[in-house]
Amino acid sequence: MKDCQDITELVERSKIERISVGDRLAIRMHSTICKKCRQYFRDSDVLDKMMQSKRFKHLGEYQFTEEEKEKLKALLMNSEK
């Protein structure tokens, strides 16, 4: 008998590769009786969507160049005095 840990792991696995019919059935059976796992399925999808969103990808692109960082450090060194 698979527990919540197994089931939620299996769901992540199913997002990466094909899982067996038995496993798919196990997920379905378990989710009909387990509210916490149903919540996990939803949260997992939301996280996927957030991390796949353009907005998320753009956020990582906003960076200072090394040169700008050095300038900033120098500026701060001076304002400390």
Partner 1 sequence: MSDSKIDTEKLVEEQSDYLLSFAMSKLQDLELAKDLVQDTFVSAITKLDSFENRSNIRTWLTSILNRKIIDHWRKAETRYTDPVSSFFDQEGRAKHWLVDKKNSTSVESVVDKITQEEATLELYNCIEKLPPKWRGVIASKYLEEKVSEDICKEMEITPSNLWVIIHRAKLLLRDCLTKAELQ
Q: Give me the residues that bind partner 1 (CB under 8 A), please.
A: 8-9, 12-13, 15-17, 43-44, 47, 50-53, 55-60, 62-64, 68-69, 72-73, 75-77, 79-80
Q: What minimum distance in Å lies between the beta carbon of 32 and partner 1?
A: 21
Q: What minimum distance in Å lies between the beta carbon of 30 and partner 1?
A: 15
Q: Which is nearer to partner 1, 22 or 61 (CB)?
A: 61
Q: Which amino acid is at 38?
A: R
Contact, 54 vs 25, CB < 8 A?
no
In terms of Cβ atoms closer than 10 Å to its own Cβ (0-12, 13-18, 19+), residue 35 is exposed
Q: What minimum distance in Å lies between the beta carbon of 34 and partner 1?
A: 15
User: Comparing C-alpha atoms, which of 15, 44, 19 is closest to residue 2?
Assistant: 19
